[in-house]
Amino acid sequence: MSTARYSSNTIYGNAGLTYGTRTIDRQLTWMLLIDWDNDGVFNGDNEAARIFDLETTNGRQFFMKSDGSGPEEVSEGSVSLSLDNHDGRFDPYNLSSPLAGYIMPGRKFELKVVDESTGTTYPIMTGAIEEIRPNYGAIDTVKMTLINEKKQLSKTIVRTTVQQNMRYDDALDKILDTIGWSASKRDIDSNISEVMPYWWGGGNDAWTEMQGVADAALGMLCISEDGKLTYISRISGDSSTVTLGDSDVTLDYGIRTPSPWETVRNRIWIYARAWHQSTDVELWNSNDQLMILPGESKALWATYTAGGESAVATSVTQPVANTDYMFNSAPDGTGTDLTSYISIVMSAFATTAKLTITNSGTTTAYRKLLKLRGNAITPDKYTYVERTDQASIDDYGDLLYEIKSDWLQDVNTAIDEANILIARLVTARQYPRVKISDKPSKQFALKLFRLVNTNFVCKGISGEFRVGYIKHRWLDRTGDRVETEVFLEPNLLSNLSGTWIFPATMGVTTVF
């Protein structure tokens, strides 16, 4: 074993004993850094010496939804920790704790591990504390749950104006720019050059908006181990950095694979629809009896429609007095015309506009007319491309897989995607699920959605797969031994990897 050196506040099991540095013979050294004072800086304190149980999960356990309605999205990455709390360090009611006043959810964290045999530091997860729950009994402990940045993205609403001829990767950058996501926290693949004639952020949360873009392009979206929003396109230029073989696998778990009917899809439907622009149409008209007191401002949100259906606006005309709005002194629209005392500030987005209406006069004003005009885009009816394989349907039954998105606006792209998916999914393949332990250079080099090269001779499985799911679990109370469970899934970006279940056609449905 190599010699590991790390610092923390207390030595586990020795109440009141503090130290700066100590020497321990071990294989792995863990680092749990928490920004307790919320100043954006980790001050070097390492809480890992108090951990006696740890488990992390990230990714998705299945490549596609069970009903075939598109790809499965990743779950929030999480870390479950049990820590020693003999001195009440993590008790929010303990005023003697050096963390008093700082123990609360939302504090940022970084979890890393050092392979002492090589000196390599591997990021495991970053994010924020979800929950802190002290447990008092014979041994005082605390349970923490930490969540990666997907939760933050799932809580942040995105609205943008309509963008024309937008690349898929540029749309993801636009979303992140809109919410103020740091450029250093992105890893967005720009290999794919396809464009969307129209794109917009329509008021969903940032993750939902980005997942829709990624799904339409058959791309992959996740929060990587170092906390970067990561997008991998279907024509990514990445390559394998880890190779797994029979000797790497934990024997009592073996090499497991999903059942054929969990991976086969033999009827592919890819939907596409074009959008068309109309100029100078009415987007919104208020029928509410809006009242604005003297000196008062009111904020309203207008949702666009055109032709009786929800609409998307490429531009919205700033409301013009006496054309788009009129206000009078009486609720029934009679009385003194007060329009000259009314001003409207508009912030227009793709599907909605915020109107801040101010009455600078001395008389209560009532709406007589209030509307918005502009240029709108409306969609065609959906067209879908179908690819089927009757032999597979005869073997496994009719199994549908479909992609339906506003961001597929070109039927040629739909045809390309249908051809990719039918080639990868029509025949059963074995997607390995394995456990690995005591091999840190392989366990922690695994990265979500990155390529792994395999050669499992005992199962006849070889070729490149993508990492779909990673779970790390401590096997002892010190974290020196760790078990890693990994689920692999198809690589849509290369030749047909993996081994096909027989009967097979040599050189056609087999890989060497």
Residue 433 is encoded by which pair of tokens? Answer: 């699920």
Domain locations in the chain? Answer: 2-148, 154-233, 235-259+427-512, 270-274+381-422, 275-379
Q: Which residues contact 23 (CB under 8 A, 6 or more apart)?
A: 3, 4, 5
Largest CA distance in the chain: 90
Residue 273 is encoded by which pair of tokens? Answer: 């629809």
CATH node for 154-233 = 3.55.50
**Residue from 450, 401, 458 nearest 424 by CA:** 401
Burial track 148-162 (b if 16+ CB lie within 10 A, e otherwise) = bbbbbbeebebbbeb
Q: How many CA atoms lie within 13 A of 413 on its CB side?
A: 24
**Residue from 426, 409, 440, 432 nearest 489 by CA:** 432
Question: Rounded to whole angstroms, how far apart are CA atoms 149 and 418?
Answer: 32
Query: Are residues 74 and 63 in contact, defined by beta-carbon separation less than 8 angstroms?
Result: no
> Which position has the token pair 């690349």?
167
Exposed (0-12), middle (13-18) or buried (19+): which is 444, by Cβ within 10 Å?
A: buried
Q: What are phi and psi of 199, to 5 degrees?
A: -150, 150
User: What's at 192, amino acid-wise?
Assistant: I
What architecture (CATH level 2) is domain 2-148? Beta Barrel (2.40)
Chain centroid to Cα 23, Å, comes to: 40
Question: Rounded to whole angstroms, how far apart are CA atoms 311 and 199?
Answer: 13
Q: What is the pLDDT along the chain (512 residues), one digit of tens a residue?
A: 333 333 344 333 333 434 344 455 789 999 999 999 999 999 888 999 999 999 999 999 999 998 999 999 999 999 999 999 999 999 999 999 999 999 999 999 999 999 999 999 999 999 999 999 999 876 799 999 999 999 999 999 999 999 999 999 999 999 999 999 999 999 999 887 789 999 999 999 999 999 999 999 999 999 999 999 999 998 887 888 899 999 999 988 999 999 888 899 999 999 999 999 999 999 999 988 899 999 999 999 999 998 888 899 999 999 999 999 999 999 988 899 999 999 999 999 999 999 999 999 999 999 999 999 999 998 889 999 999 999 999 999 999 999 999 999 999 999 999 999 999 899 888 999 999 999 999 999 999 999 999 999 999 999 999 999 999 999 999 999 999 999 999 887 643 333 333 333 333 334 33
Domains 2-148 and 154-233 share a fold: no
Beta bridge partners of 141: 84, 135
**Residue from 460, 469, 467, 451 nearest 498 by CA:** 460
Query: Are residues 455 and 243 in contact, defined by beta-carbon separation less than 8 angstroms?
Result: yes
> Which position has the token pair 């679990």?
473
Secondary structure, 3-state, 173-218:
HHHHHHCCCCHHHEEECCCCCCEEEEECCEEEEHHHHHHHHHHHCC
Q: Which residues contact 148 (CB under 8 A, 6 or more apart)?
A: 58, 76, 77, 78, 125, 126, 127, 223, 227
DSSP 218-282: T-EEEE-TTS-EEEE-TT------EEEEGGGS-TTT--B---HHHH---EEEEEE--EEEEEEEE
Beta bridge partners of 126: 110
Question: Rounded to whole angstroms, how far apart are CA atoms 239 and 446?
Answer: 13
Q: What are phi and psi of 244, to 5 degrees?
A: -115, 135
Secondary structure, 3-state, 335-361:
CCECHHHEEEEEEECCCEEEEEEEECC
Strands 242-245 and 451-456: parallel
Query: Are residues 171 and 163 in contact, defined by beta-carbon separation less than 8 angstroms?
Result: yes
**235-259+427-512: CATH, from 2.40.30, 2.60.40, 1.10.260, 3.40.50:** 2.40.30
User: What's at 180, amino acid-wise?
Assistant: G
